[in-house]
Amino acid sequence: MFDRVLILSASAGAGHIRAAQAVEMAFLRLNAARNIRNVDTLQYTNKLFEKLYSRAYIELVDKAPDLFGWLYDHYDQPWRHERRRLAFDKLNARPFIKMLTEFAPEMTVCTHFLPAEIISWLKHKHRLSTRQAIVVTDFDLHALWLCRHYEHYFVALDETKAHLEQLGVPPEKITVSGIPIDPVFAESKDKIQMRHKLGLDPGLPAILLSAGGFGVGPVEMLIQSLTHMHNKAQLIAVCGRNEELKGRIEKLIPRLAENCPLKIFPLGYTTQMDEYMSAVDLLLGKPGGLTTSEALAKALPLVIVNPIRGQEERNSDHLLEEGAAIRCNNLPVIAYKIDKLLDDPARLASMRANTLRLGRPDAAIEIVGKLLNLRNIE
């Protein structure tokens, strides 16, 4: 058991926070620490930095995706921008550094690269004595995740492990665990029972449209395109915390044609995502690391549309290679592609089998178990 564990994330996108919560739950379930703190690093930076850091991500993704993609590629050069970036982060994270030194964690687990590089620098300067574990929350590795002073990396894929090894990380310091998700996604739940519970038609194909935790992307255009499907289906449109988007979809529904093949259910922020994923046949939307890992744990094939340039593009490549997803690059043909998939039960079954093979629902438990083993060995 650890004395003091600090789990660190950053609220730039919802996935890093959810991964940190999953790790915290695993520590609690295994009774692996006497004192656990789960901290959003940005809350310990100056207010301007916090606002710009979190909002810039959403604004770039939603309004300037090409610029975001360019920045992603530009900074994906191992070690090249290390000093400049670290100097900027240190300048804006003095309260975070103060909190670290006061709490003095025995183990830190980072689900975002911002705290990881600051801790690495503090360890190098002998200003902090802690073991550091880094949990990469996408399927691919970006250079921003690299730091020089750490004890262990946890990654999603064997290929990511090979990538780290080529960059000089010793293989014994890398575990292919999968991305940590809420343990509830490991629970088997009957599809028909979940449909009855959630008010869905047990006899119609069901599609879960996910706009991500912040509800960004061309959701209304996507729904309009889906109205051209030949198969009747039900669509659960998850809007996350974007209440304005939910309202727009509710206003859109009465304007759709009378012969619209879709039953549409707008859904705001929910803590029942595991039940919705258990109830549906397809996940349609953006392949974020956490959402994708949850879908894989539920053996839920993905229909990828509008992936964020950079990390989601790379996540898409892995899913397509493994036969767990299809991708639609042109919204006018999304109805055609989903109809084609629904009309091919053998292909759909094969995709389900591939997702089940890739799923790692117990990743968080595996991560904490590995950390306990490493502690005992030391």
Q: Could you tell me the CATH number of the domain that includes residue 6?
A: 3.40.50.2000
The verdict on 161 and 277 lying in the same domain is no
Instruction: Indicate if 174 and 258 belong to the same structural domain.
Output: no
Do 197 and 320 fall within a single domain?
yes
Tally of domains in the chain: 2
Same domain, yes or no: 142 and 202: no
Q: Of 24, 318, 314, nearest to 180 (Cα)?
A: 24
Both 39 and 169 in a single domain? yes
Say if residue 225 is in the same domain as residue 314: yes
Same domain for 51 and 127: yes
CA atoms of 272 and 193, how far apart (whole Å): 14
Q: Do 325 and 261 reside in the same domain of the chain?
A: yes
pLDDT at 215: 45
- Bridge-based pairing of strands 302-305 and 262-268 is unpaired
Could you give phi then psi for residue 334, rounded to 5 degrees? -60, -40
pLDDT in tens, the chain (378 residues): 899 999 999 887 778 999 999 999 999 999 999 999 999 988 888 777 777 676 667 677 777 778 877 877 888 888 776 665 666 566 667 888 889 989 999 999 999 998 998 899 889 888 889 999 999 999 999 999 999 999 999 999 999 999 999 999 999 999 999 999 999 999 999 999 999 999 999 999 999 998 654 444 578 888 989 999 999 999 999 887 788 888 888 888 888 877 889 999 998 888 899 999 999 999 998 898 999 999 999 999 999 998 888 888 999 999 999 999 999 988 889 999 999 999 999 999 999 999 999 999 999 999 999 999 887 765
pLDDT at site 374 = 84
For residues 173 and 200, state if they share a domain: no
Looking at the fold, whether 172 and 195 belong to one and the same domain comes out as: no
Place of tokens 């904490």: 368
Query: What was the pLDDT predicted at 350?
Result: 97
Residue 196 near residue 173 (C-beta atoms within 8 A): no
Helix (H) or strand (E) holding 377: helix 363-377
- 209 lies in the same domain as 339: yes
Give CA angle at 295 (289, 300), nearest 5°: 145
* pLDDT recorded at residue 54: 66
CA dist 130 and 180 (Å) reads 22
- Sort strands 233-240 and 206-210 into parallel, antiparallel or unpaired: parallel
Question: For residues 114 and 119, what is the distance between their CA atoms, to the nearest angstrom?
Answer: 9
Q: Is 306 exposed, middle or buried (0-12, 13-18, 19+ CB in 10 A)?
A: buried
Other C-beta atoms lying within 10 Å of the C-beta of residue 166: 9
Query: Distances from the Cα of 117 to the Cαs of 123, 125, 128, 132, 161, in angstroms?
Result: 10, 12, 13, 10, 19
User: Do 171 and 241 fall within a single domain?
Assistant: no
Q: Which domain holds residue 368?
A: 2-181+361-377
Q: Note the pLDDT of residue 88.
A: 54
Sign of CA dihedral 310, 316, 322, 327: negative
Task: Report the alpha-carbon distance of residue 127 to residue 100 in Å, rounded.
Answer: 10
- CA 279/CA 196 separation, integer angstroms: 9
The confidence score (pLDDT) of residue 197 equals: 96
